[in-house]
Structure formats: structure tokens, C-alpha cells
Amino acid sequence: MRPDPDLTELGRHLGYEFRDPGLLRRALAHRSWCAEVGGPPSNERLEFLGDAVLGWVVADLAYRVHGDLAEGKLTDLRKSVVNASALAEVALEIRLGDCILLGKGEDAAGGRSKPSILSDAFEAVLGAVYLDGGPPAAFGLVERLFTDRMATAALRLDRLDFKTVLQELTARLHDTAPVYVLSDSGPDHDKRFFATVIVAGQSVGYGEGRSKKTAEQAAAEQAWVSLSDDGDPNDSNSNDSDSNDGRG
């Protein structure tokens, strides 16, 4: 367990000065530290609040900035930046890991670099910003840190191979590969193809199209969205034993 961190540098990285520094310190208090020192509340309630605030701001930015995207792509865009892996990258960028209050055991086990701990702490800090400065402060923080990431993610979604990312996801979640069941109907000159994705014995996605490839991609996209509600496709630690809700 390190000494209490100097939070001035973190404030500079956030681009926000807390009126109540105690809120920021509470946002950095991991439950392992609280258990060791005995008594102070952990950052879990602030994490809950920050998670909701983050979802709201990202949805707002996605809707306003990426008006060319359909609803399904907007959902994919949100998932691509609101997940443990992506949030951990943001946390590392602002050097949040240096400031988290961890118990000795968790610190020795590399807790400062765990995506689940980093992402939870970032959400807690965002919750603290929301309480300290209100919605404008929280919105400004997310906008500064996520606008460029969302633009990059939107471009990537345009060329995303859902069969590939689904295979990577199912390998992590279930140690298995997806199975595609194909059927077709109609005359040769006007045939339509139908695909169902089976993962671990369960049907998780359906798609159709004018070609086998189109049908399989559509089914894989639906399966990816469905499964990533339970396990983040970008987070290899989504089943971390330190997790409460799939992120930490």
C-alpha cells in the first residue's frame, strides 16, 4: 500500500480541479485498501454513478457527432469505447493507476495495471466529477477524453469483420468457436441465404442476405452484440475474478 498520492498531477491530466478533493480521494479508494485501513467507504458507489454518467455522455456524443450511423452501429460504437479494456487505456493515459489506493496484497499482485481495477476507478472518478461540478463538468471530461477515440472507433466499425471478432470473443468466453448453420430459399437467380450462429450449443445470432457471406456477417454481428452484453469483446479480462459486473 503506497502513501496517499499527490492528486495535483492527476487533476492536471483530468483537466479538472475539484472543489471537494475528498470526493476524488474517495473515488480512488479500492475495496482492498478500505479493508486494510478499516472503515472508509470504497469507490464502488461512485463507480456505479460514473458508469451511468459515462453511458449517457457517450450516447449523446454518438448521436450528435455521428449522425450518419444507424441505431445498431451507434450501439456498437458505444460498446467499443465503454468497456474495461478501452477505459483502462484512458486510465493509463491519465496515469490513474499511480493514484489508486490499493491494499498491499492487491498492489503486489499488479492491481495498478489490471483493466478491471483501472476501468472501475475511472468510472468512480467520473462519478466524483459529476457530483463535484455537475453535468457540464462530467460532460466536458468525457468529451475531452473520448471524442478522438469515438471517431477512430466509428471508422473501424465501417470495416469491422464481425466473424473475426465473434470468433475471438467466443474463444475468450467459452473456449470454443462459433458454428454457422446455413439455409437458402428461392430460385438460383434470386436466392436468399439465412444464417444462424451457434455458440456453446445455443443460438445467439441470426442473419440473412443475398450471399452466404452477407448472411453470416449479419448473424455474427447480432451474436457479437448479444454476447458482448455479458462479456466485453475487447476485454480479455472480462471474466476476471475481481469483477462484479463484467468490468470489475
pLDDT along the chain (248 residues), means of 10: 68 93 94 88 96 96 86 87 91 94 93 93 98 97 93 75 86 90 89 94 92 89 80 40 41
Structure confidence at residue 5 (pLDDT): 63
- The domain locations on the chain are 7-158, 162-228
CA 73/CA 89 separation, integer angstroms: 22
**Domain 162-228: which CATH number of 3.30.70.250, 3.10.580.10, 3.40.47.10, 3.30.160.20:** 3.30.160.20
Q: Which residues contact 148 (CB under 8 A, 6 or more apart)?
A: none
Query: What's this model's pTM, rounded to 2 decimal places?
Result: 0.65
Does the fold of domain 162-228 match that of domain 7-158? Answer: no
CA 39/CA 42 separation, integer angstroms: 9
Burial 68-105 (b: 16+ CB within 10 A, else e): ebeeebbebbbbbbbbbbbbbbbbbebebbebbbbbee
Q: What's the CATH fold of domain 7-158?
A: Ribonuclease iii, N-terminal Endonuclease Domain; Chain A (1.10.1520)
Grid cell 445470432 in the structure block, residue: 205
Q: Give tens-digit pLDDT for 35-54.
A: 998 877 899 999 999 999 99
Structure confidence at residue 229 (pLDDT): 60
- The one-letter code for the residue type at 114 is K
**The pairing of beta strand 192-199 with beta strand 179-185:** antiparallel
CA 55/CA 168 separation, integer angstroms: 25
Which residue numbers are catalytic? 51, 123
